[in-house]
A and B are shown apart, each in its own frame.
Chain A
Amino acid sequence: MDDNISSRLRASLDARETPALGADIVTGAAERPEPHMVANRRRAVAAGGLTIAVAAVTVGALVVTLPGQQQQAPLFTTAGGGSSEAATMAGDQRMMMWIDYEYLAGAGLSTNTGSGSVYQLQRSGSAEDVIARAAEAYGVEGEVVESEYSSADYPTYVVGPEDGTGPSVTGSWSGTGNWWYNNPAAYPQETPTTNSAPTEAEARTLAAELFAATGFDVDASDIRVTADEWQTTATANLVVDGTETALDWGVGWSTTGDISYAYGHSVTAVDKGTYDTVSEVAAIDRLEDWRWFGSPGPEYQSMVLYAADTMARGGEIATEELPAEELPAEELPTEVPSSDPTILPELPAEEVPLPEAPAEEVPLPEPTPETVTVTLEEAHATLLLLWDSEGNAWLVPGFAYPTGEGAYTSAVSLIEGVISLPEPIEVEPYVDPAV
């Protein structure tokens, strides 16, 4: 962008007069209550917030065993690290004042223990075969080559251009062997006035065919279709032992009628044995400990929960935004052109008199988050999706508890010792140690 456009932007966007604010805005910070987020985001905090917190901490494995329990090596250690973006998002969450939920066991919950199966989602096939098959299904021509963004931890392969100049299929041979198709040309630049996307019935049929072509057999009646003014989306979830899990496949059509994106996995659910589980009542104590959180299937899930699960894997939140279009390294600018590299205008000292430092420290008001008590009357035994410290996916027994307004919270129900948990860490509420 040349200097002319920059100047036009500055002239136009900077036209608003900025109100002159007094120094008390800063000096009064300690006395001002922290702002609260809007009520609907409570779901992100209650369920998704816990998962986001998981992504922010470093892992220190802690094997928890009960006295007298037969010593058995844990199946796996749950994930604790995440991408820098996930950690940043977790930091954002910790910036804000959250609502504390206190969960109580209602009379409708059982105290009976039980048992359940654990499944490991093992990658099946080879990276080249999986990605080549997806490329064929979505009409992308070319050879499977290693992506320029491939690394030892995340080996990545691609068919098609990586510079956003055409459709491509990219796959990561880690975790669930997930792949994704992207067609940059399928996204309309203007607000669409017509819609050539398939109807709901057409989308089910087409999606069933596309999923089958990439190794995922599902009945068209089990495919969910959603649509808005920008796109029509069809998704279906992996079913294991009669339970719909959180792992899904999807395909989206833009209003042009073209497939704009699609994604899937290449896994086989391997039964790793049956283990004892705690009761519905006992598992409630785990709802306040993020280490026991796992993602349920769509029946017990909301859009926010899916976003939180994606963050725990270190991925980007699925949003309405377009997938990132990568440009060749040689096209990337090395510096943002700016007529003035100054970060901030300096505040003339004489305009804002700074208050004198207090002779004694003023004690800070202790944060007092709002506490909401929720009595849980129902629990649904289901399979929860967990990620281990190696980035692999597992399905473990757990409970999904309805919390009202169509939301759920969930906790793993395996007895202690079957899986290894990261070291506990205090996330919320923050308490100033100086107080």
Chain B
Amino acid sequence: MPPIPDDSFTEVYSRHLPAISAYLARRVDRQHVEDLAADVFAVAWRRRNSVTEGEEVPWLYRIAANLVANHRRKQAATASFMASLRPIDAAPAAEDIVIADANLAAAWKALRARDREVLALAVLEDLPIASIAVILGVSTNAVSIRLHRARKLLARKLAAD
């Protein structure tokens, strides 16, 4: 694929800064958002020639997800060795739910991290299945299955409460 010219990097990627910032803000403390966002684009700059043309957006999200997971592992590593070996978890945490919607908070908490993440990408980031597949590194079929199951689980939880 043709590499993005260095002088176009800023033009191409600046437009995605608000979305990436919002993604990070929903997953980490506000004080860490700017630092992590800077890390996202630092990685993107150094790997800019490796991204498939047209997949810049999901690629940025994937970098952001890895950095969120790494950030969480750093925070947990001193407390728990096992926490540092957990699979990548960049899903919005249970405490991200505004307490006013207690039923939704309880149902959200009952979901697995993988289900929360795919729902967040589809509902909050409004990303199409093809982009979510790139972000999660799975097939579009797998995304459809995960999303369908996550929706059913969440709906079932809400109906039971």
Query: Which of A9, A27, A324, A333 has the most chain B CB atoms inside 10 A of its CB?
Result: A9
Interface residues on B, range: 35 or more
Q: Is B53 in contact with chain A by the CB < 8 A criterion?
A: no
Interface residues on A, range: 35 or more
Q: Is A66 in contact with chain B by the CB < 8 A criterion?
A: no
Q: How far is the CA of A33 from the CA of B131 in the complex (A)?
A: 28
Q: Could you show 8 A-B contacts with beta carbons less than 8 Å apart?
A: A12-B100, A17-B30, A21-B21, A26-B10, A35-B42, A324-B145, A343-B131, A361-B7
Q: Is A304 in contact with chain B by the CB < 8 A criterion?
A: yes
Are A9 and B123 in contact, with the CB atoms below 8 A? yes
Proximity string of chain A (21-46) to chain B, C-beta cutoff 8 Å, 1 when within and 0 when not:
10101111110111101111100000
Q: Which of B63, B73, B85 contacts A304 (CB 8 A)?
A: B85
Q: How far is the CA of A322 from the CA of B124 in the complex (A)?
A: 24
Are A321 and B25 in contact, with the CB atoms below 8 A? no
B30 contacts which chain A residues (CB < 8 A)? 16-17, 19
Q: Is A89 in contact with chain B by the CB < 8 A criterion?
A: yes
Proximity string of chain B (86-98) to chain A, C-beta cutoff 8 Å, 1 when within and 0 when not:
1100001000111
Give chain A interface residues in 309-358, CB to chain B under 8 Å: 317, 319-322, 324-327, 331-333, 335-336, 338, 340-347, 352, 354-355, 357-358
Are B42 and A29 in contact, with the CB atoms below 8 A? yes
Are B81 and A40 in contact, with the CB atoms below 8 A? yes
Q: How far is the CA of A10 from the CA of B22 in the complex (A)?
A: 12
Are B86 and A320 in contact, with the CB atoms below 8 A? yes
Find the A residue at minimum CB distance from B156: A189
Q: Is A73 in contact with chain B by the CB < 8 A criterion?
A: no
Q: Is A276 in contact with chain B by the CB < 8 A criterion?
A: no
Q: How far is the CA of A344 from the CA of B98 in the complex (A)?
A: 24
Find the A residue at minimum CB distance from B13: A26
Q: How far is the CA of A270 from the CA of B34 in the complex (A)?
A: 57
Are A16 and B137 in contact, with the CB atoms below 8 A? no
Q: Shortest 6 CB-CB distances between A and B: which pairs?
A: A88-B137, A1-B151, A29-B45, A357-B7, A40-B84, A32-B42
